Amino acid sequence: DVKVTQSSRYLVKRTGEKVFLECVQDMDHENMFWYRQDPGLGLRLIYFSYDVKMKEKGDIPEGYSVSREKKERFSLILESASTNQTSMYLCASSLRGLTRNTIYFGEGSWLTVV
């Protein structure tokens, strides 16, 4: 079974702090994604990566950056956390070729910025 592991389930951070959300997948997937999920808005794509050291902006990249130094790990970075970044963050991965492959999700990280 594919496993996508998000290191932290619940975090509380202060405004202005730098926040790291880590994600690891164990199935040698090329693609990795970061989404945020807010009530009534569904899932919105922040960034995705299709290979090591490669990244592409999604729909809402502002205020975020990402890092993919190893194939299995994709990190989301909030350079200076703000209260409007309080949300649930979901990491996902898939094989190359979204037209025929399923995306597998982690359990989510609940971030509260106070």
Binding residues vs other proteins (CB under 8 A): 4, 31, 33, 35, 40-45, 48, 50, 56, 58-59, 90, 92, 98-100, 102-108, 110
Q: Pick from 89, 39, 95: which is nearest to 66 by CA?
A: 89
The CB-of-44 to other proteins minimum distance in angstroms stands at: 8
Query: Which two structure tokens, joined as six digits, stand for 108?
Result: 């989510």
Of the two residues 42 and 62, which places its CB atom closer to other proteins in the complex? 42
Of the two residues 17 and 88, which places its CB atom closer to other proteins in the complex? 88
Of the two residues 72 and 110, which places its CB atom closer to other proteins in the complex? 110
Helix/strand/coil percent split, the chain, to 5 = 5, 50, 45
The CB-of-103 to other proteins minimum distance in angstroms stands at: 6
The CB-of-53 to other proteins minimum distance in angstroms stands at: 17
Largest interatomic CA distance in the chain: 41
